[in-house]
Amino acid sequence: MLDAEDIVGTARPDEKAIMTYVSSFYHAFSGAQKAETAANRICKVLAVNQENERLMEDYEKLASDLLEWIRRTIPWLENRLPENTMHAMQQKLEDFRDYRRLHKPPKVQEKCQLEINFNTLQTKLRLSNRPAFTPSEGRMVSDINNAWGCLEQAEKGYEEWLLNEIRRLERLDHLAEKFRQKASIHEAWTDGKEAMLRHKDYETATLSEIKALLKKHEAFESDLAAHQDRVEQIAAIAQELNELDYYDSPSVNARCQRICDQWDNLGALTQKRREALERTEKLLETIDQLYLEYAKRAAPFNNWMEGAMEDLQDTFIVHTIEEIQGLTTAHEQFKATLPDADKERLAILGIHNEVSKIVQTYHVNMAGTNPYTTITPQEINGKWDHVRQLVPRRDQALMEEHARQQHNERLRKQFAAQANVIGPWIQTKMEEIGRISIEMHGTLEDQLSHLRQYEKSIVNYKPKIDQLEGDHQLIQEALIFDNKHTNYTMEHIRVGWEQLLTTIARTINEVENQILTRDAKGISQEQMNEFRASFNHFDRKKTGMMDTDDFRACLISMGYNMGEAEFARIMSIVDPNRLGVVTFQAFIDFMSRETADTDTADQVMASFKILAGDKNYITVDELRRELPPDQAEYCIARMAPYTGPDAVPGALDYMSFSTALYGESDL
């Protein structure tokens, strides 16, 4: 309808022509579009209707299948026919678990899907202005829910029934197993009991064997009585199995009856055997009494002989005369009992001879020997002969030991006689030397002379110590470990002798040092006596040394007024080794230093201060001007620089130098 030339061939197409052409197109095609829309509407309505019909058919089929499955399943769940065995019931329980685990979950899903489909269908019908869907009779959702509820109820009852049945069968199986176990134990216990009760072993038994058989039979009767309760338990279990309708009750009842019949028979046989054993026992009691009397008297007599042999052969270790005398007395007492022991031996042998006479006279069947003892008459006679042989041997051994102990006693007394003299002599000398060292009789030379005389007498006493050592050697060789005649041992004597030698040597050395100190310091004898008197007065423990408190009290008594620092300085002088004590020699050194007219550090410092023009320091020029050259250079080389607030270049510290000269500080 449009010509291209009318549009393209002109610079500006005619608008009216164009609109005419376009309206012609519209009117030509608008009728065809209305027909297509109408057809589409019809198709859409039919498609919705078809889908709804399909959903209705699916619902009907799914509902029918689900109801049919419920109808088939409920009778299975309502079946309450019990099984006889636990295995069958467990299989039912396993089937029920498979139903719960495998079969029911899909049906639950189907029921849920059915409700979803029903709700979806009703929604689509309502949206498409269709009437609501009404399922066929008996297939409503409510019908399905009711049927499902019946299924759930049957399922719950079925599960409870299964569990109750399993518990019942467990109880029955437990009782049946308990019955079989107790019955088996009882039958195992009764096995061989009838043959044992019928056995006539008592006809050839001795009395001890008869008594043993009676004890054994009494034990069996006690055991039999104890098993009465087990038999009653077996019967009670069988009765309970019957009451619970156990499927295998006939075999249980038959076995229970066999056990009860056997039990009655065992009771009768037990009574019969007891009567036979008691009759046999009385026949052998007379001989047994003799055997028993023999055993009662032979055993202690045999023990006495074994003890006697052991004592007679026992080695003894004694250390004193009293101990060997005690052993000798005990041996004499033992020999005095031998005649009575021989009488007892003959009496025991007489009992055995009487038994032999009865056996020969009455032809008694005596199987074996005396059941109460293994001691034979031959053994008694052999041990008795051995005892008689050991007695003189013991006599000889005791006599030899007595002689040895007499010799040891002589050695003890010989050692004690010397030790009791030497020990006190050493102690006396120690005390005399101590008195000489602290007393003030005569001059120091007199004390030294007196001490040397003591030293000579001590050295001259050495042979007696050597003699005592010899006696001690004899005691050790004789293995003598104690000596009641003296409290001194050789070790005590040696230690005392060594202390005596050390003390006399140390005391002589102290007096010699005191003489040297006196001569060097120019101390008079009167001053030495005063020093000794002061020292002895404050030596409260009389040990020849003052402790710290004693020395402090001594200084205070002499007018020293000092603090802790000053006292510590003095102690460092008198006790350089820090032993906590002050000896008389250190005391003399200190006192001589305090009383002598000697230079001190303070005096030297005062002299330097004069040279320095009353300053706290001194210069090199001042030293070289006031002192000889060599001494000036000595001071310059050893004086430390002065560091006080008033110091000048080249100032030297003469105070520290002065204290160092007297050992009161480091140079």
Sign of the CA dihedral with 230 first, then 232, 237, and 242 last: positive
pLDDT, tens digit (0-9, with 9 covering 90-100), for 410-425: 888 888 888 888 889 8
pLDDT, tens digit (0-9, with 9 covering 90-100), for 108-164: 777 777 777 777 777 777 777 677 776 767 677 777 778 778 877 767 766 776 676
Residue 616 has pLDDT above 50, yes or no: yes
Sign of the CA dihedral with 565 first, then 569, 571, and 576 last: positive
192 SS3 class: coil
Secondary structure (H, E, C), 135-178: CCCCCCHHHHHHHHHHHHHHHHHHHHHHHHHHHHHHHHHHHHHH
Residue 348 exposed, middle or buried by CB count within 10 Å (0-12, 13-18, 19+): buried
pLDDT, tens digit (0-9, with 9 covering 90-100), for 248-274: 788 888 888 888 888 888 889 888 888
Q: How many residues does the chain have?
A: 667
8 Å CB contact between 501 and 430 = no
Query: What token pair was written down for 481?
Result: 């470990």
Secondary structure (H, E, C), 62-96: HHHHHHHHHHHHHHHHCCCCCCCCHHHHHHHHHHH
Q: What's the pLDDT band for 300 if we cut at 50, 70, 90?
A: very high
**Residue/partner pairs of 419-424 with CB below 8 Å, 24 or more apart:** 419/468, 419/486, 419/488, 419/489, 419/490, 419/493, 420/485, 420/486, 420/488, 422/464, 422/465, 422/468, 422/488, 422/493, 423/486, 423/488, 423/492, 423/493, 423/496
Q: What's the pLDDT band for 546 if we cut at 50, 70, 90?
A: confident
When pLDDT is averaged across residues 363-369 and rounded to a whole number, the result is: 64
pLDDT, tens digit (0-9, with 9 covering 90-100), for 24-54: 777 766 655 666 666 676 776 666 667 767 7
| Phi, psi at 583, each rounded to 5° | -80, 165
% of the chain with per-residue pLDDT over 70:
79
pLDDT of residue 294: 86
pLDDT of residue 262: 84
Q: What's the pLDDT band for 80 if we cut at 50, 70, 90?
A: low
Residue 182 has pLDDT above 60, yes or no: yes
Query: What token pair was written down for 78?
Result: 């309502």
Residue 336 has pLDDT above 70, yes or no: yes
pLDDT of residue 303: 92
pTM of the model: 0.37
Residue 10 has pLDDT above 80, yes or no: no
Mean pLDDT check: name the lowest of 438-447, 453-462, 467-476, 645-654.
438-447
pLDDT of residue 481: 77
Q: Which amino acid is at 360?
A: Q
Mean pLDDT check: name the lowest of 68-72, 180-184, 389-393, 588-592.
588-592
Query: What token pair was written down for 272?
Result: 């019969």
Residue 667 has pLDDT above 60, yes or no: no
When pLDDT is averaged across residues 566-590 and rounded to a whole number, the result is: 77
E strands, 420-566, in order: 545-547
CB neighbourhood size of 533 (10 A): 11
pLDDT of residue 87: 64
Q: Nearest-CA neighbor of 429 among 462, 457, 466?
A: 457
8 Å CB contact between 116 and 65 = no
% of the chain with per-residue pLDDT over 90:
1
Q: What's the pLDDT band for 224 if we cut at 50, 70, 90?
A: confident
8 Å CB contact between 90 and 167 = no
Q: Nearest-CA neighbor of 531 among 588, 583, 571?
A: 588
User: Which residues are 581's β-sheet partners?
Assistant: 547
Q: Nearest-CA neighbor of 221 among 179, 275, 184?
A: 275
Across the chain, mean pLDDT equals: 78
Return the axis-axis angle of helices 601-611 and 654-661, rounded to nearest 10°.
Answer: 150
Side-chain-side CA neighbours of 105 within 13 Å: the count stands at 5
When pLDDT is averaged across residues 192-206 and rounded to a whole number, the result is: 81
The helix or strand, by DSSP H or E, that contains position 251, with its residue range, turns out to be helix 249-313
Q: What's the pLDDT band for 597 if we cut at 50, 70, 90?
A: very low
